[in-house]
Amino acid sequence: MTKLQTFLAAAAMSAFGATGQADVQTRIPDDQAIRNVVLVHGAFADASGWRGVHDDLTSRGYHVTMVQNPLTSLADDVAATNRALNRQNGPAILVGHSWGGTVITEAGIHPKVAGLVYVSALSPDAGETTAQQYNGFTSPPEFVLDIGEDGYGYVAPGSFQAGFAHDVSDADATFMRDAQVPINMEVFGTVLENAAWRTKPSWAVIATEDKAFAQEMLHHMADRIGAKVTEVPASHAVFMTQPAVVAQAIDEATREAVPAN
């Protein structure tokens, strides 16, 4: 396990305890149709940030798979997600955080996907780029990117905690800042070929203290895709800091979505 994975797992478990999620959750019925969940992370983090969500859902009896996105291109991230989906033994709910929302929008046409959960996530339409989702909205000033000559972006060190994860400790935010996973900024200009939310039901968890996206933008995207919305006071790192809320929204999706025949 890398230092980043170790830290994110520890941070998620800290949030797990803070939200009272340590209690074992009610297990899902033996005859529940959807028992698989695939989690897709966004930029500047990796899949181990889902630790708290994973532990909650597995305690309920779900089979949970976490995708490690290379963050090198949309095609590469979709390919990584499809590899995970191909390994599922039945229908699945596909979940994406932030940039991961774009990934699940494209990859969600996979026949095993029964529904989509967007966790403070982007949701372009087919024929659109991810960058177009920002049109007409003013991003919060706390979220500042530092883009290198090679085109890969990080959250600027001086604004990382305020912009990405204000609801973790100073020490944890410092480690997250220093262990960021950069993203190829060209991905935001890639035109999507598919929009799975047009044919599959969607849910959305919106962090009301998110500083990576304007609140109006998050609600606009959720409204456009017809998502059932859960709001929670949290930073952009909501998938780590509010795992109980995120897991509950995913559980709801598994119970309400209808698997494809």
pLDDT digits (tens, 9 = 90+) for 141-181: 999 999 999 999 999 999 999 999 999 999 989 988 998 99
d(CA 195, CA 8) in angstroms, rounded, equals: 30
Local structure of residue 29 (DSSP, 8 states): P
Collapsing DSSP states into helix, strand and coil, what is residue 60?
helix
pLDDT band at 82 (very low <50, low <70, confident <90, very high): very high
At 231-258, the pLDDT tens digits run 999 999 999 999 999 999 999 999 999 8
pTM equals 0.91
Cβ atoms 202, 108 nearer than 8 A? no
Q: Which of 148, 176, 151 is nearest to 162 (CA)?
A: 176
Residue 12 exposed, middle or buried by CB count within 10 Å (0-12, 13-18, 19+): buried
Domains of the chain and CATH, by start = 3-256 (3.40.50.1820)
Q: Which of 241, 246, 204, 207 is nearest to 225 (CA)?
A: 204
Among 95-99, 170-174, 193-197, the minimum mean pLDDT is found in 170-174
Determine the pLDDT at residue 261.
58
